[in-house]
Amino acid sequence: MFDTVGARVMTLIAATTLPLAIIASLLAWHSYQQNVGNSAMRTERDTQLAISEITTDLDQTHTLLDMLADGDISSGNALREFALVQTVSQHHYCMLMLTDVSGRPSVVLPPPSTQDAAICSSPELAAPAMSSQTVRTPVVGVDVLKGDRGPLLKFVVPILSSNSVSGYIIAVRTLGWQRSHLPKGDGRLLLGTDNNSRHFLAMPDGTLYSLFPDRPVTAELPRRAFARLKRDIASLSLHDVFTSQGITYAFQNAYGPVSLIVATERTAEESHALNIFLIRVSLIVGLLVLELMAVALGARLFLVDPLEKLALAVADWRKGAAFAPRISHSIPLEIRHLEKAFLRATRRLSKHEQDLEQSARNQDMLIREIHHRVKNNLQVVASLLNLQASRIRSHEAREEFRLVRDRVRALATLHRYLYSESGLSALDVQSFLEELCSILLSANGMNAQTRIRLQLDIEHVLISPDQAVPIALIVTEVVSNALRYAFPENRAGHIVINLHKVVPTDPEKEGLVELKLGDDGIGINAGQATESRTRREGIGMQLIRGFARQINADMTVSNENGTWYTLRFIPERPSLTALAMARKAISHGKDSGV
């Protein structure tokens, strides 16, 4: 992944740029969090203000009712006292009632006629317990009732006379306030005036009501916020503040099982801060992406492309072309220096390769010239032997000279075939044996139209120079002996030479070839008529066996229907010529060095 120059440059730029981008993002996030913190603080402040007003109002209610109970209240003045209390409390009471000691009502002050009846409506207030016929001793204390517009509080205060209870004052009022009854300048009017803030009273079952019953609202919380509210109620939590879907919620116990919930949405300033944060983050990310793209493009144009051109030029040079990267001068100086260094190195290498090839070519020419001169010298020796043999009167001595002459001619012919133009220092045995046999037939005064026919079946097999000499002399001995002794008294026949590749049974003898040569003449045993012939043929057999050992051949001799020699051997791998070895070394050096 990071092997290319472009990737490494981009990684380096990203490593140097990311810290700055992270710092800028953190600063933007801190600014946004400050505004979010302000929202939470504002929600907390509204919650505490509402709780403070509720607590103060309830304290005043307790104080006022206690004053009524401690005063000289009776059925005669109760209605006047209740009307005064209702006026002082801004008509927050749904009912004020005076009962006797048994709980039978004697004076009842209903809610104002101008008030919405639903505000003080509750199934628990409509029960028979409030009927004048009901006789039930009231329970002193405060009960929370579930009304149609919100929670209602039922206060029961005993009236003591001579240390005994003579009656009860029962008051029912809303936990919240009616905005229409609050005087101007009242601090409670500030609650909920902000359109981004809403105040709710939550019952234990999760039902939500507006803090101001005369201003009912549809109170539905998002699923996550409602689940958090239910969890707080179930765990009897007294206080909780959380943010869900951009709205900050404050949960606070208001009175008894009733809780106050204040939901505050983002203000214009907070939304602006969020937008600024998103814009800053987008700008940072966008600038970073643009910077990386610009760096990638610049690295591609000024680093990667020149280096790729260098690599392609080197690859072409390895294939034999001239090193020519064609790099623009607008690239960095270091890459231009690298180009010049490559150019100097490739020129020197090319010069050395040319010198090496020329030296190898000269060496091949010298070796070819040596073979040519050896061939000429051997031909001169063969001519001298032939000339000397013609002057000898002894038939036996003349035959010996001719045998030596044939061997020398075989070596001369061999040296003409030893050096190949194919790049291998090897003998093409097929062409060589055809010419050698023709020379032997001509030397013995025979040709293709005579009574002795030559049959050749030779595959194309390359033989190394070390094996070529013994094979040439083996063929010379066998053919010469066959021409001289196998077909006496003008007998007709065939001399056969076969060379084939065979499939060995042993895997270690891969490449095995079989050379089978002989004649269908009278055979060795039948031809042993004189002592001189036996001696000559014995020397020839010794030479053949000796040459067979030189090429590590397994030889068998058969006298069935003539004389047959079968040699099985593995040809040695031909060696390369000096020029071929030089070119191979140059090619290997380019492949492994670049």
Strand arrangement of the beta sheet that strand 554-558 belongs to? 452-458, 493-501, 513-519, 563-569, 554-558
What's the pLDDT at 170?
92
Among 6-15, 148-157, 171-180, the range with the most confident prediction by mean pLDDT is 148-157
CB 407, CB 440: distance < 8 Å: no
What's the pLDDT at 15?
77
Average pLDDT for residues 178-203, to the nearest whole number? 76
Is residue 195's pLDDT more than 60?
Answer: no
What is the pLDDT confidence band of residue 365, given thresholds at 50, 70 and 90? confident
Query: 194 by DSSP, 3-state: which?
Result: coil
Is residue 361's pLDDT more than 90?
Answer: no
SS3 content of the chain, % helix, strand, coil (to 5): 55, 20, 25
* Residue 375 neighbours by CB distance under 10 Å: 18
Average pLDDT for residues 96-114, to the nearest whole number? 86
What's the pLDDT at 531?
42
Is residue 515's pLDDT more than 90?
Answer: yes
Mind giving me the DSSP string for 57-123? Answer: HHHHHHHHHHHHHHS---TTTHHHHHHHHHHHTTS-EEEEEEEETT--EEEEEPPPTTS-GGGG--T
What's the pLDDT at 406?
84
Among 166-170, 316-320, 423-427, the range with the most confident prediction by mean pLDDT is 166-170
Lowest-pLDDT choice from 330-334, 429-433, 451-455, 510-514: 330-334
Question: How many domains does the chain fold into?
Answer: 2
Residue where a domain terminates, one of 268, 288, 307: 268
Average pLDDT for residues 345-351, to the nearest whole number? 80
Q: Is residue 273 part of a domain?
A: no
Q: Is residue 420 part of a domain?
A: yes
Lowest-pLDDT choice from 76-80, 267-271, 501-505: 267-271
What is the pLDDT confidence band of residue 579, given thresholds at 50, 70 and 90? low
Residue 366 and residue 485 in one domain: yes
For the chain, state the CA radius of gyration.
62
Residue 368 and residue 233 in one domain: no
What's the pLDDT at 594?
45
Return the CATH number at 527: 3.30.565.10
Residue 361 and residue 235 in one domain: no
Residue 253 and residue 375 in one domain: no
Q: Is residue 116 part of a domain?
A: no
CA distances from 575 to 131, 138, 197, 418, 422 (A): 130, 127, 99, 12, 11
Q: Is residue 509 part of a domain?
A: yes
What's the pLDDT at 293?
81
What's the pLDDT at 158?
92
What's the pLDDT at 38?
67
What's the pLDDT at 126?
57
CA dist 68 and 95 (Å) reads: 15
Quick one: which H or E segment has residue 330? Answer: none
Q: Is residue 36 part of a domain?
A: no
**Token representation of residue 401:** 């000279």
CA dist 314 and 162 (Å) reads: 120
pLDDT tens string 487-498: 888 888 899 999
Is residue 200's pLDDT more than 70?
Answer: yes
Residue 367 and residue 233 in one domain: no
What's the pLDDT at 130?
45
Q: Is residue 133 part of a domain?
A: no
Lowest-pLDDT choice from 96-105, 113-122, 232-241, 524-533: 524-533
Per-residue DSSP letter, 241: E
Is residue 21's pLDDT more than 80?
Answer: no
pLDDT tens string 281-325: 788 788 878 877 887 787 777 777 777 777 787 777 777 777 777
pTM over 0.85: no
CB 537, CB 549: distance < 8 Å: no
Q: Is residue 490 part of a domain?
A: yes
What's the pLDDT at 127?
46
Residue where a domain terminates, one of 268, 285, 317: 268
Residues spanned by the domain of 189 = 181-268
Is residue 224's pLDDT more than 50?
Answer: yes
Quick one: which H or E segment has residue 503? Answer: none
Q: Please provide the average confidence, as pLDDT, over all residues in the chain.
A: 79
CA dist 40 and 35 (Å) reads: 9
Q: Is residue 447 part of a domain?
A: yes
Residue 398 and residue 539 in one domain: yes
CA dist 168 and 159 (Å) reads: 5
Return the CATH number at 261: 3.30.450
CA dist 182 and 53 (Å) reads: 13
Residue where a domain terminates, one of 253, 268, 283: 268
Q: How many helices (H) and strands (E) does the chain have?
A: 12, 19
Per the listing, tokens 């090496």 go with 356
What's the pLDDT at 33?
63
